[in-house]
Amino acid sequence: MASSLPRPATRTASRCTPRTARGTHAFEIAGYSLHRGLGVGNFIRSAAFDVGGYSWCIRFYPDGYADGEEDSRDDDDDNVAAFLELLTEDAEVRAHYDFRLLDRSTGTSSSVFSTAAPQVFDTLDVREEKYFAWGTDELMERSELEEASAYLVDDGLVIECDVTVIMEPQVEENTMAASDVEVPPSDLSSSFGKLLEMEERADVIFKVEDEVFHAHKVVLAVRSPIFVAEPDEGKKKECIVIEDMQPAVFKALLHFIYTDTLPAMEGLDGEEKKEIVKQLLVAADRYAMNRLKLICEGILCKSLDACCDHGCHACSS
């Protein structure tokens, strides 16, 4: 039977958010061929590195890994192996790890083995069957690594390990009354965008080629020092002719002045949009609008074939 009582006036809520700490260690193995012959199950260690307040290292097995049972043998394993080891004593840590190999021809690394779920690294009691190192005995086939591999160049190899430590979760509590009202996001930019469309309230007219644009002096003056002028109450709308600028560019400039965003520029292809942004960059410099200038520079510099000939800060740095 459903309760006929009213809902309580006060409710509590909480949120559990996982906290993580991430880090990457690059282990360069120079003279790879000289490390061969250590024997199956023997490894070399990287320097210790810290992630999440814990100390770690990478183990590399040039002759392969064996678990001490059926896999133990005198001949070499067919694979090289890598493990992540927790060095901190008396600790129990949950962590993801991702082993990557550096492509020496491109300078980028690609993942060769990663965990689907966090593993538990445990150094609390080494006498029990608990694991303080996790990894893979099949990092890569030795023949694939040694024969025309972009990973092994000049007898050198770089193994990267991305480590994500799962920290204690953070629980946030809050109490709210039933009468609390959820506040919607700000619509200030949308409201100013509507103001731009109210021609009857405008007090200045801009003529750009054959097109006319209505605007408000006070808004322009706040957004750009170039537009600052003495008030002229009682006079008719002032008409200002803008030269050396396309109407579409000036329209985009006004849109940014009122909304602090660039227009969608629908119906234009990529090259046409890029040309508008280039000219808008010139207009931003002309009207001392530094934020718009930086936005345009960023867009142009992200284009693969952009010719950044405007003194772009992002490309010159």
List pLDDT tens digits, range 284-312.
999 999 999 999 988 888 764 444 444 44
What is the value of pTM for the model shown?
0.51
What residue segments make up the domains of the chain, in order of their start? Answer: 17-170, 188-316
Mean pLDDT of 67-78: 54
pLDDT over threshold 60, residue 76? no
Identify whether the C-beta of residue 177 lies closer than 8 Å to the C-beta of residue 9: yes
Tens digits of residue pLDDT in 28-46: 999 999 999 999 999 999 9
**pLDDT of res. 313:** 45
140 Cβ partners below 8 Å, 6+ apart? 79, 80, 101, 112, 151
pLDDT over threshold 50, residue 193? yes
- CA dist., res. 167 & res. 50, Å (int): 14
Tens digits of residue pLDDT in 231-286: 455 556 788 999 999 999 999 999 999 998 888 877 777 788 889 999 999 999 99
pLDDT band at 67 (very low <50, low <70, confident <90, very high): low
Question: Could you give the C-alpha distances from 201 to 39, 84, 138, 178, in angstroms and in order?
Answer: 85, 68, 72, 42
86 Cβ partners below 8 Å, 6+ apart? 54, 55, 56, 93, 121, 122, 123, 132, 133
**pLDDT of res. 169:** 77
173 Cβ partners below 8 Å, 6+ apart? 12, 13, 14
Q: Which residue in 273, 274, 290, 285 sits closest to 310, CA to CA?
A: 285
Tens digits of residue pLDDT in 125-150: 766 657 899 999 999 999 999 987 89
**pLDDT of res. 182:** 65
Rg, C-alpha atoms of the chain: 32
- CA dist., res. 284 & res. 276, Å (int): 12
Least confident of 59-73, 157-171, 209-223, 281-295: 59-73
DSSP bridge pairs for 108:
103
Homologous superfamily (CATH) of 188-316 is: Potassium Channel Kv1.1; Chain A (3.30.710.10)
Mean pLDDT of 166-177: 71
Q: Between 9 and 250, whose confidence is greater?
A: 250
CATH of 17-170, one of 2.60.120.1090, 3.40.50.300, 3.40.640.10, 2.60.210.10: 2.60.210.10
Per CATH, 17-170 and 188-316 having the same topology is answered no
- CA dist., res. 300 & res. 307, Å (int): 8
